[in-house]
Amino acid sequence: MAIGIFDSGLGGLTVLDACAKRLPDVPFKYFADSANAPYGVRDADDIYDLTTKAVGRLFEEGCDLVILACNTASAAALRRMQEGWVPRDKRVLGVFVPLIEALTERQWGDNSPPREVDVKHVALFATPATVASRAFQRELAFRAIGVDVEAQACGGVVDAIEDGDLILAEALVKSHVDALKRKMPDPGAAILGCTHYPLMEAEFQAALGADVKVYSQANLVAESLADYLERHPEMLGQGQATGYLTTGDAQRVSDRATQFLRRKIEFAPA
């Protein structure tokens, strides 16, 4: 049994970490498409082609269920994959819905009509491709009314994190938060809509101010996964061991992952 977790690079490790803590007996196979990161500046067809290739590789590893721990792929490719590509006996889930359910105070699978919620002004920080897809606003509109969303495309942050340049990443976070605040001076909540950004969560929170509630995905996705597996234990799949695969330079990616998660992580070539 193994669950697949996919991201363009290191960001999905924030999701993997939370899932591994929540489900300590479940092995996870992680796939980082580091050679092709970042996805956030690519077009939707390109993101679809790369994502299907990577997820296909995780199916070969014995995973029947793959989490796209990548908002960019979830926004730009997931629906198309679910409509015509995912085999009948496999599942691919995204990371958007658990986040939006938390923001809109809903339980899993509550499909009742949209209603008013507490939060009125939401700042969304995400990659350019996720912002362009408007997938977040679409999912939100199914569940909530009267919520004003201001999206900020955070160009450069993923590259800086992948390069291990945290000084640049911090400077970019500050300038993206400033740009957002010029458009929406008083957000009530902020969404970190890219799985790389929790690695800079303290910097986002500091730039936004302590009274802005920052939502990030890792724990929300882990809870949803635990709930899903309780209802669908057969989706645990055939794979047996936890492992990390990358299309990039395995040594370099291992060093960066170890630096970010502060524990030894060894990637193998995909």
Peptide bond into 24 cis (omega under 30): no
Choose which of 4, 11, 94, 248 interacts with ligand DGL (CB under 6 A): 11
Query: How far is it, in rounded angstroms, from Cα 18 to Cα 253?
Result: 20
Strand ranges (DSSP E) for 13-136?
28-32, 65-68, 91-93, 115-116, 121-126
Span near ligand DGL by CB under 6 A; candidates 31-39, 55-63, 82-90, 250-258: 31-39
Residues contacting 185, CB < 8 A, separation 6+: none
Query: What is the number of the residue whose Cβ is closest to ligand DGL?
Result: 40
Binding of residue 7 to ligand DGL (CB under 6 A): yes
Instruction: Report DSSP state, residue 161.
Output: H
Q: Could you identify the residue written with the tokens 């990659």?
A: 127
Q: How many CB atoms lie within 10 A of CB 27?
A: 18
Active-site residue flag, 154 = no
Binding of residue 71 to ligand DGL (CB under 6 A): yes
SS3 assignment, position 83:
helix
Phi/psi for 127 (5° steps) reads -75, 160
Choice among 19, 63, 70, 154 that is catalytic: 70
Span near ligand DGL by CB under 6 A; candidates 67-75, 178-186, 205-213, 229-237: 67-75
> Is the CB of 104 or the CB of 133 nearer to ligand DGL?
133
Q: How many CB atoms lie within 10 A of CB 199?
A: 22
Binding of residue 152 to ligand DGL (CB under 6 A): no
Binding of residue 31 to ligand DGL (CB under 6 A): no
> Is the CB of 7 or the CB of 61 nearer to ligand DGL?
7
Active-site residue flag, 19 = no
Span near ligand DGL by CB under 6 A; candidates 65-73, 173-181, 199-207, 252-260: 65-73
Please report how close the Cβ of residue 123 comes to ligand DGL at its closest, in angstroms.
16
Span near ligand DGL by CB under 6 A; candidates 64-72, 111-119, 144-152, 227-235: 64-72
Of residues 154 through 193, those in contact with ligand DGL by CB under 6 A are: 158
Residues contacting 35, CB < 8 A, separation 6+: 246, 247, 248
Please report how close the Cβ of residue 194 comes to ligand DGL at its closest, in angstroms.
4
List the strands of the sheet with 189-192, edge to edge: 148-153, 121-126, 189-192, 213-215
Binding of residue 34 to ligand DGL (CB under 6 A): no
Q: Which positions lie near ligand DGL, rule CB under 6 A?
A: 7-9, 11, 37-40, 70-72, 127, 130, 158, 194-196
**Catalytic residue list:** 70, 194
